[in-house]
A and B are shown apart, each in its own frame.
Chain A
Amino acid sequence: MADTDTMAVSLTVNGKRVQRFVEPRMLLIHFLREDLGLTGAHIGCETSHCGACTVEIDGQSVKACTMFAVQADGATINTVESLANADGTLHALQEGFRQMHGLQCGYCTPGMLMRAKVLLAENPDPTEDEIRMGISGNLCRCTGYQNIVKAIQYAAARLNGRVLQEAAQ
């Protein structure tokens, strides 16, 4: 087999079955953005530090810049494009980021949202400390994190049927 041969991959992305031929060296983030046109997940540092490329793979948070598309054969992937509800209304996390000013330039936001989604699935009522450790693999150079933490607290409260006190005022 020549080393440029493509390989078939078959996976589920945002609820849809996807089949493509890819070069083995194609990184998952490039596959999502360029082959599938899902440009929500961003390319930031490309060195697995910044977390802008974070997506959900089989229920876990993964940095899509540090994985080959061929490794995702058979996987179920959700990107930020899957987050809003089918009727176009926002997910509680998206609402939280808007209400609590959890973004400024927005570059880190898709990764933050997808990381926070898995964090809240694993730990529906996290403490502030758990939120901060939970997003420790996502860098934001604008906000200083304070409002991102509040945005995730807002979403946790919403998803638990409460209203974040600060947001209510």
Chain B
Amino acid sequence: MIPGAFVYHRPVSVADAVGLLARFGDDARPLAGGHSLIPMMKLRMAAPAHLVDLAAIGDLRGIREDGGAIVIGANVTQAELIRSELLASRLPILRETSLQIADPQVRSKGTIGGNVANGDPGNDMPALMQCLDAGFVLTGPKGERTVAAREFYHGPFMTALGSGEMLTAVRIPARPAGHGYAYEKLKRKVGDYATAAAAVVLTIAGGRVVTASIALTNVAPTPLFAADASKIVAGSALDAETLKRAAAAAKAIADPATDGRGTAEYRREMTGVMVARALAKAAARAKGA
């Protein structure tokens, strides 16, 4: 399997990369970890005439705190997310989710920017970013703008990214210490996309849930922020009845396809199971229960 021929570019600044992407338009693709794009190029399902490798752009690296947010450069790999002590203490759900993506070799190359910007509904980070209410920093010929993860996905591989625009960072509002979290992913084997998966973050005080946020992976053409399910959980004591109602609300917005992972009916049912499990695990981890 040999990809089609292309011209390789290796810009060292975001401005140069945006210039190349704007100049070549639909004939160009940005290359980050390459573990979605290169397999597609080998199958000739993608045949860009120009590849713009982002690896040499220092501004796309690094994880830092910026005011009330954690900012992660687009080129930070999943292996780096797993190793980050800042994330381990402030946003441990990123490590938990990253460890469920693919396998160690793929995580050496796969980046957070590629995972969220590609628009593949099978990817795990998009729903997590919706759960955390992250913003995606996009840079294009007209400058920089931030689009909420909850507004970014329009359909399979269709996103808010405009022509000549690239994702440079994700900004995640910091969560209070002691928040509960869980990413529950049902999959057939290591490296598989989710049959269904749910991301949950919540805070608890005096035995009641104060804030709750739930999002779903791979059960619709886009990741889904489960607004109704989140509202049902907020303010509750997370009793069995609430878990059941939240799971039902999540199932109601799921629209999975029948595929090798199971029938649509099964995958919708598993959506509810993943939500209930993630809520229970997040609550058990939260301080203030």
Chain A residues with CB under 8 Å of chain B are 1, 3-5, 7, 23-25, 27, 46-49, 51, 54, 57, 60-63, 66-68, 70-71, 73, 115, 119, 133-134, 136-137
Contact = CB atoms under 8 A, between A and B. Distances in A.
Contact of A48 (B3, B35, B41, B104): B35
Contact of B7 (A3, A49, A61, A63): A3
Given A115-B104, A134-B104, A137-B190, A66 B35 contact: yes
B35 A71 contact: no
Contacts of B42: 46-47
Nearest to A55: B105
B7 A24 contact: yes
A137 B103 contact: yes
Interface string B179-205: 000000000001100000000000000
A74 B104 CA distance: 22
14 contacts: A3-B5, A24-B7, A24-B8, A48-B106, A49-B191, A63-B106, A63-B109, A66-B39, A66-B106, A67-B38, A68-B8, A68-B34, A136-B190, A137-B103
A71 B79 CA distance: 18
Contact of B104 (A24, A57, A61, A66): A61
B5 A25 contact: yes
B38 A136 contact: no
B104 A137 contact: yes
A57 B104 CA distance: 13
B1 interface: yes
A60 B49 CA distance: 29
B34 A67 contact: yes
A25 B38 CA distance: 10
Interface string B136-156: 000000000000000000000
A68 B35 CA distance: 11
B161 interface: no
A110 B190 CA distance: 21
Contacts of A24: 5-8, 51
Contacts of A133: 104, 190
Contacts of A67: 34, 38, 109
Interface of B: 1-8, 10, 31, 34-35, 38-39, 41-42, 49, 51, 53, 55, 79, 102-106, 108-109, 190-191
B105 A71 contact: no
A1 B5 CA distance: 12
Contacts of B7: 1, 3, 5, 24
A136 B191 contact: yes
Nearest to A67: B34
A24 B109 CA distance: 18
B5 A68 contact: no
Contacts of A57: 108
Contacts of A7: 8
B38 A61 contact: no
Contact of B105 (A1, A5, A25, A61): A61
Contacts of A49: 191
A136 B3 contact: no
A120 to B, nearest CB: 13
Contacts of B109: 62-63, 66-67
A48 B105 CA distance: 9
